[in-house]
């Protein structure tokens, strides 16, 4: 695909070569994301960051990624602080905001809303999550993480074995990730969820059409024995009619060190898009996994910055100029990465 000036709305717009391209640029961003070098390549550029649903990682990592490339970030958080609360349409908001920004990232509770916004926007728009539909940049950083983690175990994205656990009906990250996996070969996907929260049928079908083996189960322990990746998710309580309904499922799947040791292969990598629900009634990934070297959740969150920097660089067509505007850092950077 042509990245320059493009919206990033759905995983469906990518081919495998595009993913390779994004990952190459993401690798190149490592010294900048890891505070070894700084670049001012986007000096003067403005990111319009519009989050109409709660977000920590996605919002802050998109903002940090833009800052790390030298650009500035203007944030709108929540409907109450936007004119949408006064009845303004997405069309009008998009026309106006796109005059104030060079690129926009948007999260919105309604499926399809970000695409509708993008149609009216005069600048590229990135989907930061539209309801239960898609979260393409999360899938890209998830796959980037899977690739990096598996490299240590001599395995690749083709022939991947992955288990997705939890709320597969409303979880937009797993929707986008499954669509992304259709670009690879011979993937075994185990979908572990309560019957009522199964992966949408059309996404299962897309994976089968791609030649993947898809198994659905409502039991976790017996299904995580032979996977490279165990990807846990939160019950998306904000998508349920009532909290009580969501509570029926919270805590259904809890992965802890004892279960990991007993049922998983020793190299199985544990992932989660975060936030993990650490309240007692849920505790989907126990804190006792924190010292497990295969717990990749924080490396996954760190990788979000690299991948988002890559997306900005490609969309704004500066990926070849990053070095030209680079210098060393002046401050103490420690050894966080």
String marking each residue 48-67 x if it binds ligand NCD according to CB under 6 A:
---------xx---------
Binding-site size, ligand NCD (CB under 6 A)? 11
Query: Does the protein bind ligand NCD through residue 303 (CB under 6 A)?
Result: no
* Catalytic residue check, 58: yes
Among the listed residues 76, 138, 190, 223, the single contact to ligand NCD using CB under 6 A: 138
Share of the chain residues as helix, strand and coil, in percent rounded to the nearest 5: 40, 15, 45
Nearest approach, Cβ of 54 to ligand NCD (angstroms)? Answer: 8
Residue 158 contacts by C-beta under 8 Å, 6 or more apart in sequence?
184, 185, 186, 187
Q: Which of 7, 59, 107, 308 is catalytic?
A: 107
Q: How far is the CB of 261 from ligand NCD (least distance, A)?
A: 26
Note whether 281 and 247 are within 8 A (CB).
yes
Q: Which of 269, 274, 306, 310 binds ligand NCD (CB under 6 A)?
A: 274
**Alpha helices in the chain, H assignment, sequence order:** 16-28, 30-33, 57-68, 90-97, 113-120, 136-151, 172-181, 201-209, 243-247, 257-263, 297-315
271 Cα distance to chain centroid: 11
Which value, to the nearest 10 degrees, does the dihedral of the CA atoms of residues 231, 54, 194, 241 take? -170
DSSP string, 253-275: S-B-HHHHHHHS-TTPEEE--S-
Residue 57 known to be catalytic: yes
Q: How far is the CB of 138 from ligand NCD (least distance, A)?
A: 5
Nearer Cβ to ligand NCD, position 121 or 138?
138
Out of 7, 135, 169, 179, which residue is the one contacting ligand NCD (CB under 6 A)? Answer: 135
- Site for ligand NCD contains 308 (CB under 6 A): no
Q: Which CA distances in Å does 295 have to 137, 145, 173, 271, 282?
A: 21, 12, 18, 7, 18
Could you confirm whether 86 is annotated as catalytic?
yes
273 binds ligand NCD (CB under 6 A): yes
Q: Which is nearer to ligand NCD, 90 or 132 (CB)?
A: 132
- Catalog residues that contact ligand NCD under the rule CB under 6 A: 57-58, 129, 135, 138, 172-173, 234, 236, 273-274
The residues that are catalytic are 57-58, 86, 107, 135
């Amino acid at each position: 695909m042509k990245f320059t000036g493009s919206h990033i709305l759905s995983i469906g717009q990518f081919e495998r070569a595009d993913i390779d391209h994004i990952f190459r640029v993401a690798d190149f961003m490592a010294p900048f994301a890891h505070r070894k070098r700084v670049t001012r390549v986007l000096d003067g550029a403005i990111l319009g960051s519009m989050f109409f649903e709660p977000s920590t990682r996605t919002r802050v990592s998109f903002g940090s990624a833009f800052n790390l490339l030298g650009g500035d970030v203007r944030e709108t958080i929540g409907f109450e602080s936007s004119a949408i609360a006064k009845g303004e349409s997405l069309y009008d908001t998009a026309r106006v905001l796109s005059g104030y920004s060079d690129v926009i990232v948007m999260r919105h509770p309604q499926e399809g809303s970000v695409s509708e916004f993008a149609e009216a926007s005069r600048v590229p728009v990135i989907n930061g999550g539209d309801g239960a539909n898609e979260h393409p940049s999360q899938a890209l950083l998830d796959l980037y993480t899977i690739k990096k983690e598996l490299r240590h175990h001599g395995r690749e994205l083709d022939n991947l074995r992955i288990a997705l656990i939890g709320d597969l009906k409303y979880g937009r990250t797993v929707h986008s990730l499954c669509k992304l996996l259709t670009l690879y070969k011979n993937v075994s996907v185990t979908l572990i969820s309560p019957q009522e929260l199964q992966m949408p049928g059309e996404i299962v079908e897309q994976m089968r059409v791609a030649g993947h083996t898809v198994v659905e189960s409502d039991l976790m322990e017996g299904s995580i024995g032979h996977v490279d990746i165990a990807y846990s998710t939160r019950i998306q309580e904000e998508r349920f009619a009532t909290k009580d309904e969501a509570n029926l499922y919270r805590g259904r799947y809890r992965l802890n060190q004892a279960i990991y040791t007993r049922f998983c292969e020793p190299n199985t990598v544990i992932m989660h898009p975060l936030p993990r629900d650490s309240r007692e009634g849920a505790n989907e990934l126990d804190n006792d996994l924190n010292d497990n070297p295969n717990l990749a959740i924080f490396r996954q969150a760190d990788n979000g910055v690299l991948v988002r920097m890559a997306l900005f660089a490609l969309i704004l067509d500066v990926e070849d100029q990053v070095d030209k505007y680079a210098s060393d850092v002046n401050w103490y950077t420690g050894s966080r990465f």
